[in-house]
């Protein structure tokens, strides 16, 4: 008789009853919205939920895979929206047919040269300059060059705003802006990660939140680049617009593109999760000291996962801005573009890609439908109270919109109380644990 190792025996697969029940309930909710609100409204809701699902997938790999709490999702969403605008809207002849592009290019060269000079000053200690003197030289040089470059930029941008309004776009296909939006968000994420990933989780959240506000402030105040609060619209779609094929069909075609994007991202992330790379990322998350003792490059892997999440946020932000057909820097709010994404990930389950998609769609349906439902309940209450002599308020619509915050707050409270790991928590496989007491005998 020979005894086999217990972990060589495969455990029977469990039927995903919870997943089937939850997604069935979600489908019933979607069909209910279609029946009540109509196809055009409901399809728009699904497209926006799909864009938010891409954002949530970007956050779940940062938070769920690697334990990095990113509170600056809004900033990367705004960068993606900016690229969707800049690369897709038509060229502005009032800018490109003048000498202004040359002057702006010269100002950019001044900026690049200033950055290189400051960077070189920070390396003076390698040629024998004392570190204290090197620091003083670098700081003084940075201040002087900043004043010079900002004056040059102020003159050029002032001329652009007065003569052309803003620089306009590049008139390229919409998909180019989406791809570049992901690349730009990833590049900014790399810069942030190099500085902030060494911080503890709470300090990382504060740093990313502050950087997101900086990005928003830059886009809002750069009228020469984004028109600031004047907004830019309409943004073109990658599919025929509502004016060509109708609202429902156009939005359905847009939804098909976002659904394909989600399917591809889900497939790639799932493969990465179960690959050695994913197991290494989770090992770093669960026990960083042990992973470092095994020779893993902790900082490099954490930076990889942070950049990857930022790329997905940039792509999702670009898709969302194109669908809304407007770029408004002032419209990016922490409540809508950071906190709401966090709630989606918490509800679905951090680290579970399928749960994240479920959470994104479910939370967005609740977010969108809470205002109409609140308005309906308020109208019923006022109709009942009219017979009792109650005075009907005049701002019922705004009061109903405020119900969104209450409903989302109540939802996150209930989830954290009764399902702290989410409705579909991460499934961590423990190889051989389920069968370690079992012995398989062969004659």
- pTM check: above 0.85: yes
Lowest-confidence pick of 216-230, 270-284, 392-406? 392-406
Per-residue model confidence as pLDDT tens digits over 10-66: 555 677 788 899 999 999 999 999 999 899 999 999 999 999 999 999 999 999 888
Q: What is the DSSP letter of 2?
A: E
Q: Where are the domains of the chain?
A: 2-90+173-377+395-433, 92-167
Per-residue model confidence as pLDDT tens digits over 123-149: 888 888 888 898 899 999 999 999 999
In angstroms, the CA 311 to CA 62 distance is 11
Per-residue model confidence as pLDDT tens digits over 68-90: 888 999 999 999 999 999 999 99
In angstroms, the CA 306 to CA 304 distance is 6
In angstroms, the CA 51 to CA 45 distance is 10
Using DSSP's 3-state secondary structure scheme, residue 420 falls into coil
Q: What is the DSSP letter of 127?
A: G
Q: Please check whether the domain covering 2-90+173-377+395-433 is classified as CATH 1.10.287.
A: no
In angstroms, the CA 441 to CA 148 distance is 81
């Amino acid at each position: 008789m020979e005894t086999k190792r217990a972990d060589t025996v495969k455990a029977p697969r469990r039927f995903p009853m919870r997943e089937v029940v939850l997604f069935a309930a979600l489908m019933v909710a979607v069909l209910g919205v279609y029946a009540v609100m109509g196809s055009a409204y409901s399809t728009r809701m699904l497209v926006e939920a799909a864009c938010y699902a891409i954002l949530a997938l970007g956050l779940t790999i940062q938070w769920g895979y690697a334990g990095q709490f990113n509170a600056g999702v809004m900033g990367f969403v705004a960068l993606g929206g900016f690229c969707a605008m800049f690369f897709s809207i038509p060229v502005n002849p009032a800018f490109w047919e003048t000498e202004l592009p040359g002057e702006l290019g010269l100002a950019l060269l001044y900026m690049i040269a200033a950055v290189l000079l400051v960077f070189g000053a920070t390396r003076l200690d390698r040629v024998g300059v004392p570190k204290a003197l090197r620091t003083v030289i670098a700081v003084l040089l940075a201040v002087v060059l900043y004043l010079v470059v900002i004056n040059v930029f102020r003159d050029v941008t002032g001329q652009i705003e007065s003569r052309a309004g803003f620089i306009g776009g590049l008139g390229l296909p919409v998909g180019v802006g989406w791809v570049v939006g992901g690349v730009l968000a990833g590049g900014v994420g790399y810069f942030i990660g190099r500085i902030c990933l060494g911080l503890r989780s709470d300090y990382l959240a504060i740093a990313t939140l502050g950087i997101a506000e900086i990005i928003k402030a830059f886009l809002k105040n750069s009228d020469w680049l984004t028109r600031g609060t004047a907004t830019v619209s309409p943004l073109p779609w990658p599919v025929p617009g509502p004016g060509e094929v109708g609202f429902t069909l156009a939005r359905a075609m847009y939804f098909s593109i976002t659904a394909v994007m989600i399917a591809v991202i889900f497939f790639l992330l799932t493969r990465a999760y179960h690959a050695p790379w994913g197991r290494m990322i989770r090992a770093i998350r669960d026990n960083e000291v042990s992973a470092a003792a095994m020779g893993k490059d902790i900082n490099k892997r954490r930076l990889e996962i942070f950049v990857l999440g930022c790329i997905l946020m940039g792509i999702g932000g670009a898709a969302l801005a194109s669908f809304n057909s407007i770029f408004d820097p002032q419209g990016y709010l922490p409540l809508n573009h950071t906190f709401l994404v966090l709630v989606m990930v918490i509800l679905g389950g951090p680290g579970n890609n399928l749960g994240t998609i479920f959470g994104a769609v479910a939370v967005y349906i609740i977010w969108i439908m809470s205002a109409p439902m609140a308005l309906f309940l308020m109208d019923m209450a006022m109709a009942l109270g009219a017979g009792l002599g109650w005075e009907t308020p005049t701002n019922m619509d705004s009061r109903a919109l405020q119900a969104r915050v209450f409903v989302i707050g109540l939802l996150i409270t209930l989830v954290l109380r009764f399902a702290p790991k989410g409705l579909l928590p991460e499934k961590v496989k423990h190889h051989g644990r389920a069968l370690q007491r079992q012995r398989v005998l062969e004659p």
